[in-house]
Amino acid sequence: MEISRFTRSRLKSGTSWGYYEILCSSDKDFMDTLQAITWTGFFSTQLSYISQRNDSNGLDFYILDRETGKPLKNIAVEAFQKNYNYQNRRYESRKAGDYFSDEQGFISIPAIARELTLLTAILRFIRNRIC
């Protein structure tokens, strides 16, 4: 299959915080049932973050305001550990801890056996802000 064109779209400025889904298809009208269609969901927020693995194999994050780039303090974060369950043949998440960003928006999460996922942590914060 050859994809002859690429379309890029941005959310309009001022788009409300919330959950959105992007649909993509190799058919511009999304009508041909023999063509590929895929989608992915995401949350639009006022948050951004910078992350890196630290020297002790933990993860460091700076939580920032998306528009100003200023650090955000007292942001509640839940860290989750993902483990593969061989009996169920799927990954399962287990809570690894609660953290709060400091004055510089900084959070350091110590190393655990598997990779941490911050996404759930940020989504929890957003739900608390929206509700």
DSSP string over 102-129:
-TTSEEEE---SS-EE-HHHHHHHHHHH
In this structure, the strands spanning 90-100 and 76-85 are antiparallel
7's tokens: 């379309």
Q: What is the pLDDT of residue 12?
A: 63
What is the residue-level pLDDT of the chain in tens, covering all 131 positions?
444 445 555 656 666 777 888 888 888 788 888 888 888 887 777 888 898 888 887 889 999 988 899 999 888 888 887 778 899 999 888 888 888 899 999 999 887 755 555 444 544 554 444 32
* Residue 63 CB neighbour total at 10 angstroms: 26
Q: What is the pLDDT of residue 115?
A: 53
**In the chain, which ranges are E strands?**
18-25, 37-44, 47-53, 59-65, 76-85, 90-100, 106-109, 116-117
Q: What is the pLDDT of residue 131?
A: 28
Matching CATH number, 47-130, of 3.30.70, 2.60.40, 2.40.10, 3.40.50: 2.60.40
Q: What is the pLDDT of residue 114?
A: 52
What are the angstrom distances between the C-alpha of 42 and each of 23, 65, 82, 94, 122? 12, 18, 20, 21, 12
Contact 75, 25 (CB under 8 A): no
Q: What is the pLDDT of residue 88?
A: 94
Cα 40 to the center of its chain, rounded Å:
12
Domain range list for the chain: 16-45, 47-130
Q: What is the pLDDT of residue 4?
A: 44
